[in-house]
């Protein structure tokens, strides 16, 4: 437990450090951290598939994950989409000439999308006009969701949520997670809308404050649900692949993908919302 706490503090310190570097110095700092997260997550997924993913694809996935920020910096998020399609095309060509199995190609495509393309939505948020707000919203909602889901599950959990996938998760824990997600969003609301720290918020764009609170709450509910669904998706993958954690990179916390499984779906949602707001 002590090691888990120390690792949690370390993760929080790194995130906060890069967050402020991204806000006050250059967004490239946060872009670099996102690239590291994607590279680690893609590597962990490759290892989890073991022999089910032909080794011919490993090099392409490594190049893809390490260079994924470059097309974004040049062309925006559509650049990442085009780059993903290009890498898939190269993989498909490789499959044809190397006579690789179709299921291997499908696993290759799956990794490009999950975690590759889904985590890339963080690039879009980080480089938007409301970048500091968006990043704070994603991480606060997801982290508060995880903490409150765990606490409520331990204290009140009786009804299983998805026993075939994750036996320890309960309906009570999930509801607690949604409550936590709303609290996380309200913390962001106080920082950006009430105190006006760091950067303008939604209210600056002409919304009445009552609407802004409602907006934050609705985003929190959806983001919290997607965070928990993301966690269940990762559990489903691990159960089917016969692994407990994607890696031991973060000690008792598992791997990078274990920490970002819920965040990535929440990030996709927030980036979608930002498409219309920003």
pLDDT band at 1 (very low <50, low <70, confident <90, very high): low
Write down the pLDDT at residue 212. Answer: 82
Tell me: pLDDT of 202 over 80: no
3-class secondary-structure state, position 193 = helix
CA pair distance 24, 45, nearest whole angstrom: 33
CA pair distance 88, 57, nearest whole angstrom: 10
Tell me: pLDDT of 43 over 80: yes
C-alpha torsion 3→6→7→12, nearest 10: 160
Please indicate whether residue 210 or residue 79 has the higher confidence score (pLDDT): 79
Q: Is residue 58 within 8 Å of 101, Cβ to Cβ?
A: no
Question: What's the whole-number average pLDDT of the chain?
Answer: 91
Q: Across-strand partners of 160?
A: 170
Write down the pLDDT at residue 169. Answer: 94
Write down the pLDDT at residue 210. Answer: 53
Q: Over the stretch 59-85, which tens digit does the pLDDT of each residue have?
A: 999 999 999 999 999 999 999 999 999
SS3 content of the chain, % helix, strand, coil (to 5): 80, 5, 15
Tell me: pLDDT of 124 over 50: yes
Share of the chain above pLDDT 90, in %: 79
Write down the pLDDT at residue 209. Answer: 57
Write down the pLDDT at residue 198. Answer: 63
Can you tell me the mean pLDDT for 254-278?
92
Mean pLDDT lowest among 90-99, 152-161, 208-217: 208-217
Does a cis peptide bond (omega within 30 degrees of 0) precede residue 78?
no
Q: pTM for the complete prediction? A: 0.92
Write down the pLDDT at residue 194. Answer: 81
Write down the pLDDT at residue 211. Answer: 57
DSSP 3-25: HHHHHHHHHHHHHHHHHHHHHHT
């Amino acid at each position: 437990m002590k090691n888990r706490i120390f690792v949690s503090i370390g993760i929080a310190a790194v995130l906060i450090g890069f967050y402020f570097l991204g806000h006050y110095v250059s967004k490239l700092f946060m872009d670099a951290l996102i690239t590291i997260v994607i590279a680690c997550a893609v590597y962990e997924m490759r290892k989890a598939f073991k022999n089910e993913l032909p080794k011919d694809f490993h090099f392409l996935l490594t190049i893809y994950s390490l260079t994924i920020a470059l097309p974004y910096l040049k062309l925006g998020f559509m650049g990442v989409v085009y780059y993903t399609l290009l890498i898939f095309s190269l993989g498909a060509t490789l499959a044809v000439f190397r006579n690789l199995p179709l299921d291997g190609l499908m696993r290759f495509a799956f990794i490009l999308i999950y975690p590759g393309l889904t985590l890339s939505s963080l690039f879009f948020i980080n480089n938007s006009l409301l970048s500091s707000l968006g990043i704070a919203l994603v991480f606060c909602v997801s982290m508060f969701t995880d903490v409150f889901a765990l606490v409520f599950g331990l204290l009140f959990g009786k009804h299983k949520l998805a026993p075939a996938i994750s036996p320890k998760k309960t309906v009570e824990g999930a509801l607690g997670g949604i409550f936590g997600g709303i609290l996380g969003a309200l913390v962001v609301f106080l920082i950006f809308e009430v105190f006006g720290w760091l950067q303008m918020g939604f209210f600056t764009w002409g919304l009445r404050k009552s609407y802004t609170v409602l907006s934050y709450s609705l985003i929190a509910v959806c983001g919290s649900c997607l965070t928990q669904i993301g966690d269940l998706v990762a559990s489903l993958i691990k159960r089917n692949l016969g692994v407990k954690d994607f890696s031991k990179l973060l000690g008792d916390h598992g791997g990078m993908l274990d920490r970002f499984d819920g965040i990535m779906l929440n990030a996709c949602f927030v980036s979608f919302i930002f498409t219309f707001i920003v």
